[in-house]
Structure 1
């Protein structure tokens, strides 16, 4: 149920954007290539860059369950480096509990649902666009990333 509600939230958030509304209901303005690329890059920064973090949070949680509480902060930063390529800005010790800055960690909530929701939201949104306007997804083999666009 939690995963389902997270999908609905993400789809609502995704579809509430003016650009998506305009594209799906064919109220398109004549966007330039630059505007479209800027939009897609912003979407990539928001969605694609988030995936390694969302995956890493539960990987770390599961490692704590499996390996115990020793070196928790060290493992956090090892995983941050492995999955995100991020290092701590200053030297960290076990006295620093950096994972605790994420609410889901201290509340003992699974985070993998956010990882899955960020992937599935586009698939569900695409199908919603097909239902609304089936001809809107007749695209050439090299499909565009912007949903509900006409060729």
Structure 2
């Protein structure tokens, strides 16, 4: 994909802002929000809070992910796949895997979480939240590896 009418710095800015939102949001939710909520709130308060927070975050990430992929492909298109640094290929592969995991989270365990929260089925909601937490953790590791590739691949 080549978007010659968009300047390189704008493509890169949108790409990086999307990545910061996504990876930073996962780090915040995983290491700060969920543990703090678990520490001070019981499941009937904690799980609806987490479900509502994740819903807002997932809407933002649902915009960020396509923008990250489109701008990444546009940047890659400017240099060509064959001449792109190996780190760019790694970032593309990791980004596609991360996008797939995000799609899984928002289509399988997150709807379960919402359904169980609405029904006040706290153990089942907690189980759905555990699945989300596990996959967010995986995506956080992959996102960190993507950032490492971006830095070392320069």
Global fold match (TM > 0.5): no
As a proportion of its length, which structure holds more helix?
A: 2
Task: Pick the TM interval, shorter chain.
Answer: 0.3 to 0.5
* TM-score, structure 1 as length reference: 0.36
* TM-score, structure 2 as length reference: 0.36
